[in-house]
Structures are given as C-alpha cells and as structure tokens.
Amino acid sequence: MTKISAADVKNLREATGAGMMDCKNALVEAEGNFDKAIEVLRKKGQKVAAKRADRESTEGVAITRINADNTAGIAIVLACETDFVGKNDSFVALAGQLADIALNFNTKEEFLAADFDGMTVADKLVEQTGVIGEKLDITAFERIEAAYVGSYTHIGKIAAIVGLTNAVDKADVLTKDLAMQIASMGATTLSYKDFDPAYIASETEARIAVIEKDNIELGRLGKTLKNVPQFISMAQLTEDVLAKAEEAAKAELKAEGKPEQIWDRILPGKMERFISDNTTLDQEQCLLDQVFIKDEKKNVAQYVKTYGDVAVSGFKRVTLG
C-alpha cells in the first residue's frame, strides 16, 4: 500500500478545496499520484453533480468586476443550493476568482470554456460540486463595454453594471448612483422608447382590468376607488392626447370657478399629475423615467443631466434566484 504523507494531503487539499479525508482517500485510490488523485476527485464531483442536476440553485453570490481603465465590466452569479454555503468564505473567494476570469470574456459560453488552473471553468464547477456537496452553477453572466463603466453590489445578492457615453468628471459617483438605482428599483430597459407597441397595448389592458377588479371590491367596502389610467406609458401620450388632457384640465378649472388669469399657474401641476398617473409602466421599468431614489424631486434622466455632456449607454442587472 502506498504511503500517503500529511504533506501530500495538504497539497491536494490546497489545490482542490476538498476535505482532508476526501483528499487522503483520493491519493490512496490514485496510489499517491497527484494528478490521478485530482481526477478521482473530479469524477466524484461529476457523480454528485449528476445526482443533484435537478436541484434548484437559488442561493449564492452576485459579484462584479471592472477593468483597470473602467471601459468594461461584468456581473455574474455563482449559485448554490443553500444560504449557508453561499455565505461561506471559501465559496465567496471562488466567486471572486471566477469573476476575475469572466472579465476577460464576452459570453458565458466562452467563460465556461476558459482555463481555471488546468481545467475549464465548467469542470471547476463540477469539481467543487463534489467538494461542497451542492449543485454549483453560473446562473447569470452579463458584460458591458463603454467609455466609462461602473458598478454596485447589494449585499452579494444583487449586482448592477452601468455604461456611460463619456468619462465625465465624477463618473465613478454617477455610475455608482445609477447602479444603486438599478439594483434597488429593478429597471429592465433604458427608456419608454424601447418598448414594443404590442407589449404596451397588452400591458395597458391587463393593468386596467386589475384596477377595475380591485375597484369592485373597494366599492363594496365603501372605500376610495383607485384611479383607472387611460394610458401607462409616455409612448402613448401623443401631442393630441396631451392637448385633450389640457383642455379637460381647463374645463375642470372653469367648473371650479377658478379665475382664468391664474390658470397658467395651476395647469403645469395638473399636466404633471396627468403624465405621472398615465406613465406607470415607464416609472416601473425604464431607468431614465424612474424617480431618482436619492432625490425624489428629480427623475433619473434629470439627475444624469447634472453631470453635463453624458448619457447612459446601457446597463445590466443580475440577481439570485
């Protein structure tokens, strides 16, 4: 029987992260051959991975990396099955190593095929599945390139990266604020101009139906009814629609007996309320149209303008689950 030294076990453990007994048993099976022992552990990982293939990986860590000149960034999620593993220091360290590698690739497929200490990233995930005993997976991979890229990560659960058209003064502050907005408010697109008309039409119908159903119950209980919007996006508020809304507001002021000479002071507020009530989809999903979380008197587009000649070129958001 081949004698296995404590140093051999230590070296294999450091190379693979496997437990002490797993390393010793692998070395015994491999008759002391270090490379064969790694292969033994890898095969064990494949067996564990096959058994746990149908398990859900909904815990883990979301992480970002930005290159040295802030012109490219990635956001990935290394997922596992339990929160206990997701908070483990060695698991978080592995996520960091993977993020460092991911920064050099454009797609998830290229990243999974990349080298990780003599094996592919995909094989490393299988190996660590055997070591940890939980299914590990890269459930999200996003990349952005721009004149300036910044990021924000919220307690390792949500991560966002943002690109700017120009590397303006304090671009680091701007991108962090924007990424924080994205992480917090969950925007899915940049502007209402990105929406497909068919999507807006179906979403309008669905939202109105929900509110009307709620109002039946509210009416039965004698409570104040919710406002039923005519529209849900700025894409629907044509010049004709806005003109009719203004005429309706003037008629309302006249019916209230408000002097015509003060209408100019009241109308802007009424129109602002009309637009707010009829752009709920934009406020939920469009980054630039959302209320800025650090100053509710501005929307995000107005905040970006305070930095001068710059615009948001794109953003990505990743999250666990």
Express each pLDDT in 27-79 by its tens digit. 888 788 888 887 777 777 666 656 666 677 789 999 999 999 999 999 999 99
Task: Check whether 281 has a pLDDT greater than 60.
Answer: yes
CA distance 33 to 28: 9
C-beta separation of 44 from 52 below 8 A: no
For the domain spanning 59-187, the CATH number is 3.30.479.20
Residue 11 CB partners (closer than 8 Å, separation 6+): 34
Calculate the alpha carbon distances from 258 to 248, 261, 264 in Å.
14, 9, 11
Residues 69-118 pLDDT 10s: 999 999 999 999 999 999 999 999 999 999 999 999 999 999 999 999 88
What residue ranges do the domains of the chain occupy?
6-51, 59-187, 193-299
**Residue 304: closest CA among 137, 200, 174, 114:** 174
| Rounded Cα–Cα distance for residues 161 and 66 (Å) | 9
Q: CA 247, CA 251: separation in Å to the nearest integer? A: 6
> Does residue 75 sit in helix, strand or coil?
strand
Please write the tens of the pLDDT for every residue from 202-258: 999 999 999 999 999 999 999 999 988 899 999 999 999 999 999 999 999 999 999
Task: Please state, rounded to an integer, the average pLDDT across all residues of the chain.
Answer: 91
Question: What whole-number distance in Å separates Cα of residue 285 and Cα of residue 190?
Answer: 8
6-51 is a CATH 1.10.8.10 domain: yes
The answer to whether residues 31 and 23 touch, using CB atoms and an 8 Å cutoff, is no
Structure tokens at 192: 């209402």
